Every structure is written in C-alpha cells, then in structure tokens.
Chains A and B, each alone.
Chain A
C-alpha cells in the first residue's frame, strides 16, 4: 500500500512539474498583453489540424478550451444557452443570423494580420459584405461522390442529382441527415433556387425526397460517411467537397462531381461572439489558425479547401497532396450555384418536412 502511495505521489509530482515546465516554455505574459490567458474555441468536429491548438497554447503561453459541434443549429442552441465563447466557426447563413441578432462583435481589422493571404473568392460575400464580423476559414461545395468501379462517370455527369433516384443504385446511397443539404439537392434537381420560399416548389421538393426515400432506401448519416466510402460500402454519396477530397485521397477509386443543375457553395468562417471574454486573444487565434503552417496542417488533415490561397496552391498543384483531386478545388463562378441565406420560417418548415420523410 505504501508503495502504491509513493508511486502515485511520484506520478502526480511528474505531471505537475511537467505542466509548470510547459507553462514556462514561452516568455510572453498573456495576462499583461491580452488581459486573459484562456480562450474558449467552438469549432466543427474534425475541422482543425492535430497540432494547431497545442502550438497556439505553447506560442502564446495560454490555455485553449476546445469544444466541437455537429451542426450550426447545435452551435446556435449552445450559444443561446448562455455559454461564452471567444471563437466560433459557423457557416455563411448562420453568420448572417448571428449578425442579425447582434450576437457577434465587429473584428478589429488592424489586429488581423492574415487578411492579404486570403483567397479573393472567399471575401466580401453577401452574408457579411465587408467581412466586418468574419474571417473565412474553409470553403467548399456539395456534390456526388461515386465509386468509379461501379458507376459510369458519364452517367453521373449526364444525370447529375437525378442519379440518386436511379433504382439501379437502390440501397447504394449515403446522404447527410440534414434537411438543408437534402432539400438543396431536391430543389436543384428540380431546377429551383435552394433559397426558395414558394410553397409549391417546396412541396415538389418534398415529394422528390419522399420518393427517393421510399424507392432508394438511402442511409442518412453524418461524418461516418467518410470511413464508409473509403471502404467503398456504397456506390454513391452526397458529401461536402472537403469530405470528398479526404475520401478520394484515401481511396483513389472514388470521384467527385458537382452536378450541372447547380449546388450549394458554402463558407465556414471564424467569428468572435459579442459576449466573448477574451477578444484580444481571439484575434490572435484567428491569425494563428489561418497562418500558412497551421492551415497546411489543418487542410491536409481534414481535406477541406483552405481560405488561404497559398495553401490551396501548394496542396492542389503538382506534387501537392491533393494534386488531381477534383474535390479539393471546387467549382467557382458557376451561375447555378448558390449560397444559403438565413430564413427562419423556411428552416422550420424544411425541418418538419424532413422528419416526415424519415418517419414515412
């Protein structure tokens, strides 16, 4: 027993000295410089390089409380629940909503040093016209990932979204369990805007998805689609471009296609909530996470397209890890592609219709 106590004590000592030596690794006094030494970061799951957070902690001699969400809505509900965060990484339409509801604080652009590194295409988007509140992080599209050994590329290109209703592939389909992404597919397949408020068009999209649900027996999933498609469990999947890039890098039999009927172009950006306790340090976190080194780490790890142009150039060009990987460089400037806008009434309507589809 005594021995055990000794070992435990030694262990505790080791851990505590380990911690204190760690704290001494940088000379910066964060309290003096930023007024605080802890920030709370709330990001998507699997959406950052493995060492970015720990490198930030070491460099700035601070602690990061890092938590993750599965959906914009989950993030929003947690935020409303009174949790204070210093950094959030929501998508375009959610940023629009947060701005409308006065939940964000304007960024101090003089403190953002990486602005010039950002790709032109990701700045000044309608959800935040002058990037007053947000700094883009990752961006991409939604498309069809397919197994080239089972599905003819010419057929995917010809049919676009409608291939999801080709009964030859019944039981061979993954879709995201998300009303937003599913209705986007249906509305685009029918030739409508994915931001439509027309009840007749929504009803038509509902029927389209209902038929798909009943005839194709699709599996509604979230991130597990990545592993499943790497293992080629099914032939077709509706996925985000970054997920596709990651899957294709692991399984070269897979290919990604953005249907010509149009798709969703999305942006995920870093914002600082109005009630952030440590905004000065949060600005530094943005600079750090979007620095070349961090972004290389993150983009390589998760497969999403970085907002930092030099990273995309490096990874997407010859010799880069995503060279020839069509999903890493999503289509831009195509007239039928759209960005989601925030519409609370529409969101509720689609959410309820989506439940009905799943239950029927």
Chain B
C-alpha cells in the first residue's frame, strides 16, 4: 500500500457565476520517501491539489468526489478534530513566502515550541531541545541564540530554513512544499533545494514539491505530474518526462525555458494563454494552443492513458513516444 494515495479527486468552487472545477479527476500515489513534483502554470490547480490533501479547502470550495488515503485512512472524510492529528504532524507544509508563514510577533523559539506542544505532550525544555536539533538539521548557525530572535531579524533564506525546521519538528512522513523557493534569490534557491533534497533522503521523508519551474523539479524529484486547467496531463518518472515529454504542453513548457534555445535567438513560446476554468474548451483543454492539433482534439477529450511507466492525456502520445 502506498503511503499516500489520491484517488479521482474533484474539487469544485461554487461561485455566483457558476461552478468552477478547480481539480478534475486527479489521482496519484506517493511511496515512503518518494519525491514528487507537481508542475503547471498559475491556475492549473497545483496548490489546490496540495490544499485538498490536507483538507484545507475552505468555502466556497469543496471536495466533491474522490479520496485522499494516507496510510489507508481517508483524509477527505475526517472532521476538523481528527485531521489536526495529521496536519502539521504527519504531513507538514512549507509555503511560498516565509515572511507570511512565520508569526512576526513571536520569537522563532516560541513558534517552534508551540507547534511541538500542540501535537505532543512534552515539557517546554524538551520541546526546546528538539527545536535546536531541527534548526541544526537545516544548517542554521548558532541555533541556540536563534530561538530568541524574531523572524524580521533573519534574512529570507534563513527564514525559509526556519520554516523547513518547523515542518520537520514532528518527524513528518510527508512534506508538501508549495513554491518554496519562488520568493528567494537564485543562489539561496540552490542552497534551499539542496537542503530539502538532503533532508528528505536523510530522514526518509516523502516530498511533494509544487513549482512552475521545471529546472527546479528536475533537480529534486523522482516523479513529475504536469497539470493543465485543473487536470493531470502527463505523469511519470522525472528522467523520462524531462528527456522525452509525450504531451505537447509539457514539450512546450520545457522548450520555453531560455536554456533550451541558442543564445540570441527568439525563445520557443507556447502561443495563447491557459483558459479560465469556467470556460474550458471542448475536447482537449489544450487544443487551441497546441501546434499538433487535429480535428479529433476539438471534439473528443483525451483520457489519461498508460504508456509504459507513465501516463499522458493526448491523442498522439504514442506517436511522440515512437519518434
């Protein structure tokens, strides 16, 4: 049994203008210690997927279908009290902006002790000991003195390290990181990514890394899931997806990276924009932007089909595979 199994998940937001299907039939699994990357543009449903795992979808959104099985328990059906035992304890989350995540009026130590005491019945002293140990694990120098500092006294990179340390406090089985390096500089980004990767390997923690940057996922994860307009369009081992994507959207995303073109030339762009979720085109959601589209694409929605080790939702994936 997989550690985490998401099955046919649907999330619908009920708006005045009609229902919006933010997540459409998303399924994936995560084994113990495995690292999965969820890639897509803004509005593709990456973050909603992560929120749905932890049952954090608030009104007007609702999980209307599907299951989130964690160690066999369906998280989507738990009530607030029960989910608290999982959230921040067995599955923890790292958000994009560390300054928004940390409480500016509490010291780092207070925030860490509070988090530990919420989940475990331990003394303040013991909690502090664990906090220091975790701060050391994320390579924060002079961890003891940091406990008494406030978030504003730390730099952006240090703050994100603290956030990671907090996520590690209760020795979680899975860490969900939602664009953890987007707010950081390149040099800091490289350090944080390396740190995350090493921690996951060392403590055997599963990682779900949400990002729009394919360069980032290709360095850290073992599996990739590409999302477009709320649905999964390609899924499989990182190596294969990066080297031979079989969905035109994934191909477009990879080719749009500046490093994929010869310097000085025009970049390969995907024309058009992602459709609004209220207005998803008939047939394949990607067909108006696709350079390989044929008549079938505008009429029939391709299903997510298995091709050896991976899945792709395109009528012509087999042809890309044979190329």
Are A and B interaction partners? no
Chain B residues within CB distance 8 Å of chain A: none
